[in-house]
Amino acid sequence: MDEFGYTTGIEVRYRDLDTMGHVNNAVYATYLEQARIAYFRDVIGIPSDEINGVIAHLELDYHRSITGGDDVTVGVRVTDIGTTSITMQHEIRAGDEVAATGETVQVVFDESGDPTEIPPELRDRIATHEGF
């Protein structure tokens, strides 16, 4: 996970598991969401209630199942900053193994719900952290 500038641990909750003891496939998207919110809070300094963005694109590739006993971490990095969007790459790991990889595109919006330019301060913080 060295290529990811930010990682966070995710607790596997009992409710995440299906009847076979595996994390349900839909929960993987929630793990990406948890990591994305932590990235904005910890790296960019924006609390989750101040994030004015919506997911316009979500892509997930599953590599292995996650069980209740696995230690789960998610790596996050920004790969592109557009005018109104932020593309993020994610890697979910169960122990030392890749469990899933994903990509999200988050679009920033204004008070009326229309896409708007990413604020310069946000753009600068991401660029500094990611080394753009």
Tell me: pLDDT of 103 over 80. yes
Percentage of residues of the chain with pLDDT beyond 90:
79
Which residues make Cβ contacts (< 8 Å) with residue 42, sequence separation at least 6?
Answer: 6, 8
Average pLDDT estimate for 24-49: 91
Average pLDDT estimate for 7-20: 94
- Domains, in order of start, for the chain: 6-130 (3.10.129.10)
Tell me: pLDDT of 26 over 90. yes
Q: How far apart are CA 125 and CA 121, in angstroms?
A: 6
pLDDT of residue 23: 96
**73 and 32 Cβ atoms separated by less than 8 Å:** no
The position carrying tokens 């990611």 is: 130
pLDDT, averaged across the chain: 93
Tell me: pLDDT of 1 over 70. no
Tell me: pLDDT of 124 over 80. yes
Which residues make Cβ contacts (< 8 Å) with residue 126, sequence separation at least 6?
Answer: 43, 44, 78, 81, 86, 132
